[in-house]
Structure 1
């Protein structure tokens, strides 16, 4: 079997010239290794691949989505993801679960090494993750109310220096900050675009003019903002990409942005568009006639749709972009295809017709779409060390929907692709591998001493009784990530709810009725072993190191029968791998308790210098008279091995004042949801959509309030 050559592909630069050209590739022949990525011999080769796979799907299903039209229904019995190729259901690896090395510094104390402030709670030290708030200890950048806000915290009290409107209906943005530049990553839709208030250079662009009037899929917008003058922050450039933001990481001012794009502009037709309903009624409307006429309509739709596929061009299969250069005041607009055919690959096993783009953005320049690494694969989960970025995908397995499939066919496989990101100007694909099962989130992967540890769960189809979890170790050998060790049998009949790798140890939480916390010894990567197990009610969705051999779990309390209760904090002693212990726990709120920290680790703060854990919480409860109350805020807890977990205090933000009220009966004021907490000096700053509050670190008493202006 021919092998692909490792690629040194130009990435997606902001400033400076790219090194031109790509390595020569061998054309794959014969059987392909499903764990390896293969390049194309040009655009004709790429079109042959996409058209062939698409027509095969149409022949089998009548559509690109895996819906079974053969039984006379529009959605049939099998609605697999033939187009996306994904069976994981994860959201791109930004959800919580656990993993990696202690965040921020070697002690996992929540601080930035050598500084007196906390940064974003990240998985790996030195690898930044985008969030709604960023700080360097003197400045805070926060996204709220559709605006980017600059708060100066260098003086005696925080001061709002400026706010920048980013566009109409923009309510979701994540921030990277590097020196005097901010990069905002926005998930949006083309119909949200148009003119919006602001300086002339900030006028919106009609994306459907460039992406086509029938484009209604997601758009990823990258916004470069000059923050050197906080009173007059300005957008320097916009880059709009036809596709959904999966995730991003930044190392030393260079961001790697992962975008997933669907085929576009293919005007396919459904069988019902060919069905002659008048003839059906005139023929008597019998079931037999319906089935016959449906098969005729299905055959006609297949002929039509395969003709559409045959007429497709590169523009239909690769993502397009629109770039606005605003650096000279007047917007200069350019558009094109984001990826060159020579820079796109496909796995040895069909993994969907979506394009996964791994892009490089240098915050020291302007957004320039000069290339990128593309893979025909869905791609759901992203993890990065300082040296490498990994993208994992779990292809759709049609056996999951086939009751006649054998047990050997019904298990799932996750494929993991490794990219070297040590070159600031390009990302290099180096190797691929696979593990059994599917991954919870980014925290299921962790690189240590060159090896990749992966925690996964597998089952036969959707039969939970056959479910079990594994910890596998992959090592790069040439262009493959070879499995050199694996231990299974974790959480039989259960699924992974949380996982954390710290050094040569792994901690895996599974759950169905009780919460087994497994300790896994990975000191010998070829022979990982389950060292110990602790069973307690409920489960921990997030585990954070809070001292030597101590883990703090954030999760849900529960009964022995598996009924989930309110939010729970648990302190675990893992000094003895064979006998992990729950030292202390505290439950918060009622059965309806919830916290963003359950699925997003960036909502959790640990400040090791004072033993403070802080997270947003909310819950509802009924009193004896069935009166309902809802409570929410940011709650701080002092965590100590001997004294346990004690509530320090809570922070509330004032209700916003609105100019116009749309509901006279219920009113328009609301209790703002607190989303993030950061420490700067002797104060804790909490962020909501309404503003930023500074509280005393010692007891969380109010100190200062900064309200954000309405957009």
Structure 2
């Protein structure tokens, strides 16, 4: 029988922890609270829950994905997603806010006599977020094309000191750096280790541990000793069945969020039982098809429920393989990541994937010594220095049921709060709920002990009923009580950008024009929409660039809602009731694009010189009408009076490709610039090819460091 979990959670925590309840064990037949996490009385109880939920889906749909097979193979997607998790998953086999924040990116080092430098553009000061590049003002760690590169920037010119091949065909990795250790977070797949020509981790065959039929995602954590940059080495690896969602680090303690789907349960589709020969011999009529399909559907249900009955804990919980290389020769251990009594489920069905957050201590070489999980999705993670919040939006059948009552057709997001001041564990504190769903981590912000949440809701998929809200939640015992809310923002529209700064909120919605709303939350019990500005286009990312000034990164548009190219907009929000757009500048051509539109870490603001930089890709035509595709990083000086003025552009040299096989088109490619960081009087830009140092004053070239090819 399910039981509410205790408050204290182990150090190797899994994000499902998010909504742990703390009341006494519920009586049989009692109604479960959707905001509470309930534990299990051992593995048998856990299997009863997972098997019961899974067989219920098989009975209702014939599969675990919510597809309605009752009318045939091409049935409707009843769930609008995955019945396992509500939005993704398979049985076949990265968020922000501010507590009166200083403008992030103005520099977080150098006051002790070293060079001043910018760090990762994070939401909360002191809460680090993983990225493809990290620096402490003396060292730059950068990931590019499967290698970790160490660039020494302590001298007059940057020097590549070493590069470490990570041992697999990896295309993306995110880095935390703490003292002489780096923690790399990698999304990978087991076939990378078998791919012909790919680097092979010595002595490791993941499919030996996860099964030959496991082809789903793997999260790989890599601990690297960077104390000797010429000989960086991997100290430990931890491979987990599941997808990396997000991560945060506070004072050297990392919380890593992983979502793991059930694996290894071999289910069959109705078509595998359909007797096509008998169908053709019977004349192939529509009526015969419907009759025979129902027979095949019934047979598949019997088979699949039998397969579910035969499943074990290994099928439902994430598994791991750990390599401890700290003593030289690797020591490999493997198993199930979580103990059954450390796993929970929500009071309302939220999927059969296990969501987890690992508390990672680099001193233990990634040892999986314990953990807590929950059967739930979990889309949005936000952390202040003291608390971690996780937002989940459960699977809601009313979304695809047009006959559902209006009051049942909206969405509800549950928010769970954890105290993370203890470096060894996270303690569940309270849970609450808000109407609608959240755009991103920026939709949450802690201020004065309260949590502000921006959300959008609609009746089912009817966008004409859409509107947005700003709600304030305050802890009262083990509940996050809603103490204030204002709605009516952007009716028929959805939130495209949001930022909380001090006791103000700024919300951008969009459908045809871009309403920028200013929300006064100085009285958290009575938040009010103080002002509104309607302009074409929209801002996807908002960044404070001075007192009462906000810079928006987004897209230009026409009055009728047509989206044009990239633009920067400078807003004056000194008067809450009348926000103004002071300046805007188009960037690139109509088809320009920037990673900063969806990843704030690609944006740089250096307040000391009023410099804003974004990476950009854009198309254009030369004087001979030849189409050109260009990539670079553009720098702008932002001033309230003078406007937004481009001061320079940085581009990296095209890589030299040996043994080019295509003489007509060539084999070169233009490197995409990913990040910009400031160290001293230089701007360093990163691409897969290398790192360029440019003068901070005008972005003129200074030094080029080329990365070695694999």
Please, what TM-score do these two structures have when normalized by structure 1? 0.94
Aligned to 1:701: 700
- Say if 2:547 is the partner of 1:551: no
Asked if the contact 1:507/1:519 (under 8 Å) is kept, the reply is yes
Equivalent residue, structure 2, for 1:167: 167
Q: Where does residue 289 of structure 1 map in the other structure?
A: 288
Change (3 A) 1:661 1:480: farther
Q: Deviations for 1:26-67, whole angstroms, at most 9, x for unmatched residues?
A: 433301111111111111111111111111111100111101
* Matched-pair contact (CA < 8 Å) for 2:104–2:123: no
Between the aligned partners of 1:99 and 1:509, the Cα distance in structure 2 is: 15
Q: CA deviation at 1:639?
A: 0.5
Check conservation: 1:65, 1:80, Cα contact below 8 A: no
Aligned residues of 1:196 and 1:203 also touching (Cα < 8 A):
no
> What is the match of residue 224 of structure 2?
225
Aligned positions of 1:598-613 closer than 5 A: 598-613=597-612
Separation in 1, partners of 2:72, 2:565: 46
Cα distance, 1:74–1:610 mapped onto 2, change above 3 Å? same
Equivalent runs, 1:362-377 vs 2, <5 Å: 362-377=361-376
Residue pair 1:6, 1:479 contacting (<8 A) in 2 also:
no
Report the equivalent of 1:66. 66
Mark the CA change 1:598 to 1:23 in structure 2 (over 3 Å): closer, same or farther. closer
Output one character per residue of 1:222-276: Cα deviation in whole Å (capped at 9) or x when no partner: 0000000000000000000000000000000000000000001111111111111
Partner of 1:309: helix, strand, or coil?
helix
* Contact residue 142 and residue 149 of structure 2 kept, 8 A: yes
Q: What's the CA shift for 1:83?
A: 3.0
Cross-structure match for 1:112: 108
Tell me whether 1:100 sits opposite 2:102 in the alignment.
no
Partner of 2:546, secondary structure, is coil
Shift of 1:144: 0.4
- Answer yes or no: is the 8 Å Cα contact 1:163–1:233 preserved in 2: yes
- The Cα of 1:454 is off from its aligned counterpart by 0.6
Which residue number in structure 1 is paired with residue 510 of structure 2? Answer: 511
Query: Which residue of the partner structure matches residue 17 of structure 2?
Result: none
Which whole-Å CA distance do the structure 1 matches of 2:524 and 2:576 have between them? 16
State the SS of the aligned residue for 2:182: strand
Alignment of 1:463-482 (within 5 A): 463-482=462-481
Partner of residue 321, structure 1:
320
Report what 1:138 is aligned to. 138
CA distance in 2, matches of 1:437, 1:158: 49
Does structure 2 conserve the Cα–Cα contact (< 8 Å) formed by 1:88 and 1:380?
no
- Which shows bigger deviation, 608-617 or 273-282? 273-282
Which residue does the alignment assign to 2:665?
666
Distance in 2, matches of 1:28 and 1:321, equals: 33
Q: How does 1:427-506 map to 2 (within 5 A)?
A: 427-506=426-505
Question: How far apart are 1:667 and its partner, in Å?
Answer: 1.2
- For each residue in 1:103-124, what CA deviation from the matched residue of structure 2 results, as whole angstroms up to 9, or x when unmatched? xx62445210554100000000
How far, CA to CA, are the matches of 2:21 and 2:640 in structure 1? 55
CA distance in structure 2 between the partners assigned to 1:381 and 1:101 by the alignment: 19
Counterpart CA distance in 1 for 2:32 and 2:319 is 29
The answer to whether structure 1 residue 411 and structure 2 residue 407 are counterparts is: no
Contact 1:389–1:418 at 8 Å: present in 2 too? yes
C-alpha distance in 2 between matches for 1:397 and 1:499? 25
In structure 1, what is the equivalent of residue 562 of structure 2?
563
Q: Which residue of 2 aligns with 1:17?
A: none
Which residues of 2 match residues 20-419 of structure 1 at below 5 A?
26-29=24-27, 30-86=30-86, 94=94, 99-101=97-99, 106-108=102-104, 110-112=106-108, 115=111, 116-194=116-194, 203=202, 205-419=204-418
* 1:18 counterpart residue number: none
CA distance in 1, matches of 2:2, 2:260: 29
Relative to 1, partners in 2 of residues 1:437 and 1:229: Cα closer, same or farther, differing over 3 Å? same
Cα distance between partner residues in 2 of 1:46 and 1:555: 46
Change in CA separation of 1:165 and 1:698 when aligned onto 2, cut-off 3 Å: same
1:78 to partner: Cα distance: 2.3
Q: CA deviation at 1:288?
A: 0.8
Deviation of 1:626 after TM superposition, in Å, equals 4.3
Paired residue secondary structure (1:155): coil
Is the 1:566–1:593 contact (alpha carbons within 8 Å) kept by the matching residues of 2? yes
Post-superposition Cα deviations, 1:610-658, rounded to whole Å, max 9, x if no partner, equal 0000110121124686431222210000001111110110101000012
Matches within 5 A, 1:572-591: 572-591=571-590
Contact 1:37 1:432 in 2 (8 A): no
In the TM superposition, what is the alpha-carbon distance from 1:10 to its structure 2 partner?
1.0
Gaps of 5+ in 2: 14-19
Query: Quick check: 190-199 or 52-61, which moved more?
Result: 190-199
Do the aligned residues in 1 keep the contact of 2:495 with 2:507 (CA within 8 Å)? yes
* Cα separation, 2, equivalents of 1:276 and 1:692: 61
SS of the residue 1:308 aligns to: helix
In structure 1, the residue corresponding to 2:369 is in which secondary structure? coil
Q: Which moved more, 1:689-698 or 1:457-466?
A: 457-466
Cα deviation for residue 85 of structure 1 reads 3.2
3-state secondary structure, aligned to 1:597: helix
Is the 8 Å Cα contact of residues 82 and 88 (structure 2) preserved in structure 1? no
2:535 corresponds to: 536
Aligned length: 694
- The question of whether the paired residues in 1 share the 8 Å contact of 2:411 and 2:435 is answered with yes
> Which deviates more, 279-288 or 677-686?
279-288
What is the RMSD computed on CA atoms of the aligned residues? 2.2
SS at the partner of 1:245?
A: strand
Q: 1:199 to 1:206 in 2, by over 3 A?
A: closer
Shift in Å, 1:513: 0.8
From the superposition, tell whether residues 659 and 582 of structure 1 become closer, same or farther in structure 2 (CA, over 3 Å).
Answer: same
**2-structure distance, mates of 1:160, 1:299:** 64
Q: Distance in 2 between matches of 1:149 and 1:28?
A: 54
2:300 and 2:223 map into 1 onto residues whose CA distance is 45
Contact 1:27/1:39 (<8 A) preserved: no
In structure 2, how many angstroms separate the alpha carbons of the residues matched to 1:23 and 1:347? Answer: 9
- Worse overlay, 686-695 or 656-665: 656-665
Partner secondary structure for residue 280 of structure 2:
helix
Distance 1:676 1:620, change over 3 A: same
SS class of match (2:219): strand
Contact 2:551–2:569 (CA<8 Å) still a contact in 1?
Answer: yes
| Structure 2 residue matching 1:364: 3-state secondary structure | helix
Q: Could you tell me which residue of structure 1 aligns to residue 12 of structure 2? A: 12
In structure 1, the residue corresponding to 2:71 is in which secondary structure? coil
- When structure 1 is superposed on structure 2, of 222-231 and 330-339 the one drifting more is 330-339
Q: Which of 114-123 and 686-695 deviates more? A: 114-123
2:5–2:344 CA contact under 8 A, matched in 1: no
Q: Assess, with a 3 A threshold, how the Cα gap between structure 1 residues 2 and 152 changes in structure 2: closer, same or farther.
A: closer
How far is the alpha carbon of 1:402 from its aligned partner?
Answer: 2.0
Q: Is the 8 A contact 1:50 1:353 kept in 2?
A: yes
Shift of 1:430: 2.2
Preserved contact between residue 58 and residue 302 of structure 1 (Cα < 8 Å): yes
Provide the C-alpha distance between the structure 1 equivalents of 2:199 and 2:287, rounded to a whole number of angstroms.
65
CA distance in 2, matches of 1:625, 1:196: 43
**Alpha-carbon separation, structure 1, partners of 2:232 and 2:77:** 53
CA displacement, residues 452-474 of structure 1 (integer Å, 9 cap, x when unaligned):
11101111111111110000111
Residue in structure 2 matched with residue 19 of structure 1 by the alignment? none
For the residues of structure 2 that align with 1:128 and 1:577, how far apart are their CA atoms? 31
